[in-house]
Chains A and B, each alone.
Chain A
């Protein structure tokens, strides 16, 4: 292998419900839908395996309910996975399964190793404190204590995401959706994470704002060398951003490949439907 992955996910599973005699006896492939018709247990993520490499953008597409966001929630410890492992090369030399770390260590990983941008900025930002304050909060949790460097870093990041200087002291609740997303991205980048998780970050934004956010993500990839997982149900977004793409359906990865290959020569029936809908 000529390069090592920055992030590696192995056998990630997340189910809601305990399962029953019927669904527990089925293999991943045998369970056609992502729920059990007998007991109602939902199998949101089923045996997900993938890797992300330095500086690449990995796209994740699939319809609503396919398990994309659940996967991201598990990776950011917002939800506890049922089983599986995730490794990041910059944490304990890539030997520790992050899911098995203590709560304190998971907090450290969130502060120092990962950044996440949510579809709804309300989950990623504190709406009542200033944009600068939001960044400062993240910097404090990552160990920065001196005020002046903190302010300078916050200003630098907010400038990088095109927040005008005169608005940096304002609370994000006064910002437009696009501005809130940009502040969220700045906040997620503040601790220089090697891996950034972007969950439907352009959904609900109008086209021109969406375009600005996409430009920003590309700039971040180029300027910071961050590895990014972008979840979107919009193939247009994935086409613009992703080097490689995985396609999810009913909690499973049904296809993966180079993004242009997924779009021009999709193999799975569902991916063909998805691409036909786009074109």
Chain B
């Protein structure tokens, strides 16, 4: 089966001008991700796990290497060199990114956040409202919270909202950036259920996690990052 995502010799170095320093983050990373597959990457803080996801999502610029993505719109596309407008399109319609942090406009309710995501797909307001209710219910966000601002939500609640927002776009590829970090055991269990649920819908996922136990039996393949290298 053709890979949905193929990373070839990805390296990322940060140049800090004021310190006159170059910091190597990820080095010579190569991974293939097939449609419907879930790959998990573990590793210590600072090992370069997030860097991989951020290079795919183009929050970071790739220094060396290629990130080939099989786009529905553009065909085979190197995300390392795609135009900014192509990346905006992909973020809108094809690639989702979920982290433990919810980065949204202030003074926007949980319901509006998910609706906005649906509206961006070109749906009508009525459709967006209906879809938002469906998603918030599906991902178990307490209806009492739907019309509240999420800045005061617990980590688990923010994560559920974050996933509902990302899934509103029905992404072909979902990037999970340490969604369980700083969550308690009960919340982690909920996240595990969410991921199992996403897997059952055939969503292709690349996730990074802090703890190995969490990933046991969940991922199709598992890697460990050490000092910027994948083992």
Contact = CB atoms under 8 A, between A and B. Distances in A.
B60 A267 contact: no
B60 A272 contact: no
Interface residues of A, number: 25
A265 B59 contact: yes
Contact of A258 (B17, B59, B73, B116): B59
A100 interface: no
Interface in B196-213: none
A257 B18 CA distance: 21
B61 A2 contact: no
Interface in B53-84: 54, 58-61, 73-74, 84
Interface stretch (B85-93, B151-159, B174-182, B220-228): B85-93
B126 interface: no
Interface residues of B, number: 23
A267 B61 contact: yes
B106 interface: yes
Contacts of B18: 269, 272-273, 276
B59 A218 contact: no
B76 to A, nearest CB: 15
Nearest to B12: A265
A260 B15 CA distance: 17
A265 to B, nearest CB: 4
Nearest to A263: B59
Contacts of B15: 267
**5 closest residue pairs by CB, A with B:** A269-B17, A265-B60, A260-B59, A264-B59, A244-B84
Interface of B: 14-18, 54, 58-61, 73-74, 84-89, 105-107, 116, 119
